[in-house]
Amino acid sequence: MVLAGGFGTRLRKVIGHRPKPLAIIHGRPFLDLLIDDLIVQKITRIILCVGYLRQQIIAYYRTRSDAEFLFSEEAVPLGTGGAVKAAARLIRTDPVLILNGDSLCRVRFSEFLAFHEAKLADVSMVLADSGGRTDGGAVEVAEDGRILQFLEKSAATTGRTPLINAGIYLMRRSLPLTWEFGTPFSLEQDVFPRAAIDGKCYGFRVNSEVIDIGTPDRYLEAQHKL
């Protein structure tokens, strides 16, 4: 499942009238880079959660024949958590792999899956070094990989090299059906902190960089890095 329904407000002045996941990187939509990596790693049933300018994404991926694409459409913004819950009816596998549609981090999904299953986790998330970034929350992890807490942005200045959420998750299929939050709601702010308290949220560390296109500056950096 790829979360591709955001407004992309900060990037709009750069990419114009197109949804953020379709921002062009060297002649191709950014979202294609994520999709290609999924397909190479034998993941060929892909649910796209779409909202803002969703018809562009739907029209584009209906033309691809190298995977099965399904669309969960948001008439109103649901947030990342709401998007997953709304698309839960389309999930066939247990667990389900979920990715943010505006960031990329290289992961061997087979190894991530083995980690998730070994931990008997409700949720596992990919963690990466912050690379000096201080504009995002950090994650505190126990020696066994269990996530202890999600730290606010200021925690990045504590002197430790923080680990950040890479926006890639494995989740027990039935979990979204248990969520009772108002709409919209967030995976990062509502769902994951509760899972951490329950002791069923684990972090899978990788040595890959998180590349996102959330701002004009990062979009420009992505053109050089990808």
Cβ proximity of 8 and 51 under 8 Å: no
Per-residue pLDDT of the chain (226 residues; tens, 9 = 90+): 999 998 777 887 888 888 999 999 999 999 999 999 999 999 999 999 999 899 999 999 999 999 999 999 999 999 999 999 999 999 999 999 999 999 999 999 999 999 999 999 999 999 999 876 666 668 999 999 999 988 755 444 454 558 999 999 999 999 999 999 988 999 999 999 988 999 999 999 999 999 999 899 999 999 999 8
Residue 46 bridge partners (DSSP): 69
CATH code given to domain 2-225: 3.90.550.10
Determine the pLDDT at residue 156.
47
Q: Is the dihedral of CA 137, 191, 96, 19 positive or negative?
A: negative
- At which residue do the structure tokens 């389900």 appear? 96
3-state secondary structure the chain: CEEECCCCHHHHHHHCCCCHHHCEECCEEHHHHHHHHHHHCCCCEEEEEECCCHHHHHHHHCCCCCCEEEEEECCCCCHHHHHHHHHHHHCCCCCEEEEECCEECCCCHHHHHHHHHHHCCCEEEEEEECCCCCCCCEEEECCCCEEEEEECHHHHHCCCCCEEEEEEEEECCCHHHHCCCCCCCCHHHHHHHHHHHCCCEEEEECCCCCEECCCHHHHHHHHHHC
Give the distance from CA 153 to its chain's centroid.
Answer: 19
- At which residue do the structure tokens 């909202």 appear? 51
pTM of the model as a whole = 0.92
3-state secondary structure at position 46: strand
Determine the pLDDT at residue 153.
55
Determine the pLDDT at residue 137.
65
Q: Phi/psi zone of residue 5: left (φ > 0), alpha (ψ -120 to 50 degrees), beta?
A: alpha
Helix count and strand count (H, E) for the chain: 7, 13
Q: Which residues contact 64 (CB under 8 A, 6 or more apart)?
A: 35
Determine the pLDDT at residue 16.
83
Lookup: tokens for 175: 């979990």
| Tens digits of residue pLDDT in 138-151 | 899 999 999 998 87
